[in-house]
Structure 1
Amino acid sequence: MPEISTPPEAVGLSAERLERIDPWMRRYVEAGKLAGLSVTVARRGEVVFSRAHGLADLARERPMADDTIVRVYSMTKPLTSVAVMMLYEEGRFQLDDPVTRFLPEFRDMRVLTGGSRKKWESVPAERDITIRDLLTHTSGLTYGFMESTLVDAMYRDEGIDFQTAETSLADVVARAASLPLLSQPGAEWNYSIATDVLGHLVAVVSGVPFDEFLRRRIIHPLGMVDTDFHVPAEKLPRFASNYAYGQDGQLTLIDDAIEGRYAHPRAVPSGGGGLVSTAADYARFCRFILDRGELDGVRLLGRKTVALMTTNHLPGDLAALGQPRFAESSFSGIGFGLGFSVMLDPAKAQIVGTPGEVAWGGAASTAFWIDPVEDLFVILLTQLMPSSALPLRRELRVLTYSALVD
């Protein structure tokens, strides 16, 4: 984790109140609800809280540490979105360009209206999916794991899973494009494989494989030394195992650190959820966003582009645009920008926060948020699926914001 460089009081935080985070962390570990977790809090460019408790690997009794590598899953999405916006800044496309300009497999899309898996009914899409639709999850695409609609079931039948596919990024995108959309493009907010499609778009537009583009243009320039789509052999002892609750309510291993699928290079680099990272690495990404596109003299985006990304692009909050079935956030009072959720109204969201704050999380209960008004960011890392199992993010928000005293 990032090294603590200054006392909390020097940046307007109460050390006594901030210290409430520590027993909160310990309670979850001691109760057997989490194997281990870490929390990083930084304000005004200074890390003021950086702590880890519990184990990264229960079977091997490896402690959660400052350099533990974890699956950040959907916290990959903001990095993919940055890659898209870097190409946007190069004049390669406009946000409202149809994605068919680069990915012709999305021509003549259909929108499901009824039927069954074997004989589904549909109508033509009223317009093409745009790049903005993909960035804001308003494309009409979905996720197979939702298990709540016929289109979700069709994704599962066709193996539309960027986490486990063994073919190629282009192949999985093409198979997804052969299936109907869940809604008309732009009509509803539905969490989806859209960011995986964007990863393929980056590869097509740039002429560079997506994983190589991310490493060369973002990960390495930002000094994110432990962030990648797999964990090399020499780093596996620092990799955390992933857990879920079994039928007995106890933690059960679902992906082993040493013998799991991240121990080898992945055939399909998932722009929607494929990265592993550390607290120190993701703190560098948060600083990059908070510093409006620049980190330690390295500028990857212009400040106006970051401002555009962190602005709500929906006509209202998530709850107002269709009936969202899942998100790594609540729906009321929360909008969505280009790769991040955006806080619109803390009272409506029923949680302490700041309008304009951006955030997202991952399936294994990881989370981050960046508050430009308070010049603050917070990172939570753990490995428990699903992310809805515990109210970790909401509780940590209260603990963190209640420590602000200036």
Structure 2
Amino acid sequence: MFDHDPTDPHEVGLNPDRLAAIPEYFKTNYIDTGKVPCMATLISRGGEIALEDYSGTTHLGSGEPIGPHTIFRIYSMTKPITSLAAMMLFEEGKLRLDHDVSRYIPEFADVMVYESGDKDNVKTRKPDRPMKVLDLFTHTSGITYGFMMQHPVDALYRKEKIGRPDETLQEMSKRLAKLPLQCSPGDEWWYGHSIDVLGAIVEIVSGMELDEFFRQRITGPLGMHDTEFWVPEEKIDRLMACYQKDAQTGETTLADAAGAESRLYAKRPTLLNGGGGLVSTLRDYHRFCLMILRGGTLDGERLISPKTLEFMRQNHLPFGQTMRDMGKSMFTEVMSDGVGFGLGGSVVTDVVATMQPGSDGTFSWGGLASTYFWIDPEEEIIGIQATQLMPSSSYPMRQQFQQLAYAAIDW
């Protein structure tokens, strides 16, 4: 889709020299030092791309140069797409935010809450109220991730192998309902499989598997032809390698190979992970972000009403709290000070508290392998960044990207 050269930055109020400093910064500080294999950066304003740069290679220290064709594992940047799918069904009257989750997945009618004990001897109690569909959107459901390593419930997830690849999204959701929640719904913010369960509800309500719903209703109409839960054979050589940095030793090792050697993406998975399963390109994901910035429409295709999208980009945490106020999770994809949570991503509620330039109302999220996007509706700026290093908390690349981007604004 953006097969032309980027626009002149002056025309959209951005400083070309300062924009050019962004890829140079990441090349000097991250690629040349061997911290990451590559860095892809895209900045647009008013829908016009002012910076699109691809630095580095598909492997750490070797491989082919990356480019617009490079396919990245976007992990949790899947979450806003699944959330959009659910709200499209909301607009059709097929679900409500105040409905109990058990209305769609009956097993959740009997879900319990952790009270005490360890993974081998857990004492539970009934939740203070039922889990609502809204709780899934906002990560206030009490559902967690097994990789958190901070609570007996996430240890139970590991013991029960939640998220294993041989089960479907609906099968995983039903097994989740048999495990205790970390808190009563609505009480705390815990990052976890909530959007996976929401994806299962999308399947149940629509009667379509999640990949087919995306293809027919979102990625197809938006022309996001490289965004899928797997990479077909004719495109597999465009998938780059993914790396993992050990927090204790600092050693970086290969987590998943590039191309056809990938263990996870060379064929359609059984588990269509609505919270983190997609791959994409920068240009594809920019089209998704541009649709959001333009109020739910792009190139004549309206996916959702502008009022519904405006509603999604509000802070939906109880009593206007921030992620810092409610958050118990040691892992999140964005800084939590001055940031609430909407229906599918974080929302800046107090830009001063974030300790960096920006705008209230900015909508953003990221992925485990250090992909990231933000949409600033006040400045009409979209920023997207991608490399392939887990976890995303390894380096402060996201904050640095935003600092450099806002420094490039002239008017």
TM-score range relative to shorter protein = over 0.9
TM-score, with length taken from structure 1: 0.97
Q: Distance in 1 between matches of 2:215 and 2:152?
A: 36
- Paired residues for 1:220-299 under 5 Å: 220-245=220-245, 249=250, 251-257=252-258, 258-260=260-262, 261-299=264-302
SS at match of 1:40: strand
Instruction: Check the 8 A contact 1:40/1:49 in 2, yes or no.
Output: yes
SS at match of 2:55: strand
Q: Which residue of structure 2 lines up, in the alignment, with residue 105 of structure 1?
A: 107
Q: Distance in 1 between matches of 2:249 and 2:139?
A: 36
1:323 CA displacement: 2.8
Q: Which residue of structure 2 lines up, in the alignment, with residue 37 of structure 1?
A: 39
1:37 CA displacement: 1.2
Q: Which runs of 5+ in 1 are unaligned?
A: none
1:26 CA displacement: 1.2
Q: Which residue of structure 1 lines up, in the alignment, with residue 408 of structure 2?
A: 403
Q: Which residue of structure 2 lines up, in the alignment, with residue 343 of structure 1?
A: 348
Q: Which residue of structure 2 lines up, in the alignment, with residue 17 of structure 1?
A: 18
- Paired residues for 1:7-406 under 5 Å: 7-27=8-28, 28-58=30-60, 61-161=63-163, 164-245=164-245, 249=250, 251-257=252-258, 258-260=260-262, 261-314=264-317, 315-406=320-411
1:60 CA displacement: 6.3
Which stretch of structure 1 is more off in the superposition, 135-144 or 54-63?
Answer: 54-63
SS at match of 1:244: strand
Instruction: Check the 8 A contact 1:146/1:326 in 2, yes or no.
Output: yes
Give the aligned residue type for 1:224: M
Instruction: Check the 8 A contact 1:370/1:377 in 2, yes or no.
Output: yes
TM-score, with length taken from structure 2: 0.96
Instruction: Check the 8 A contact 2:34/2:60 in 1, yes or no.
Output: no
Instruction: Check the 8 A contact 1:169/1:200 in 2, yes or no.
Output: yes
1:72-116: CA deviations, max 9, x gaps? 000000000000000000011221111111110101221101012
1:354-384: CA deviations, max 9, x gaps? 1000000000010000000001100001100
Q: Which runs of 5+ in 2 are unaligned?
A: none
Change (3 A) 1:249 1:154: closer
Instruction: Check the 8 A contact 2:114/2:125 in 1, yes or no.
Output: yes
1:128 CA displacement: 1.3
Instruction: Check the 8 A contact 1:77/1:271 in 2, yes or no.
Output: yes
1:59 CA displacement: 7.8
SS at match of 1:107: helix
Give the aligned residue type for 1:400: A
1:182-231: CA deviations, max 9, x gaps? 00001111111000001100000011111111111111111001000001
Q: Distance in 1 between matches of 2:70 and 2:91?
A: 34
Q: Distance in 2 between matches of 1:134 and 1:360?
A: 16
Which stretch of structure 1 is more off in the superposition, 253-262 or 39-48?
Answer: 253-262
Q: Distance in 2 between matches of 1:210 and 1:22?
A: 35
SS at match of 2:187: coil
State the aligned residue count. 404
1:16 CA displacement: 1.4
1:57 CA displacement: 2.7
Change (3 A) 1:299 1:180: same
Q: Distance in 1 between matches of 2:234 and 2:83?
A: 30
SS at match of 1:72: strand
Give the aligned residue type for 1:49: L
Q: Distance in 2 between matches of 1:171 and 1:248?
A: 37
Q: Distance in 2 between matches of 1:167 and 1:300?
A: 30
1:104-142: CA deviations, max 9, x gaps? 010122110101212211110122111111001101111
Which stretch of structure 1 is more off in the superposition, 255-264 or 143-152?
Answer: 255-264
CA RMSD across the alignment: 1.4
Give the aligned residue type for 2:159: D
SS at match of 2:235: helix
Q: Distance in 2 between matches of 1:324 and 1:116?
A: 18
Give the aligned residue type for 2:256: D
Percentage of matched positions with identical amino acids: 44
1:63 CA displacement: 1.1
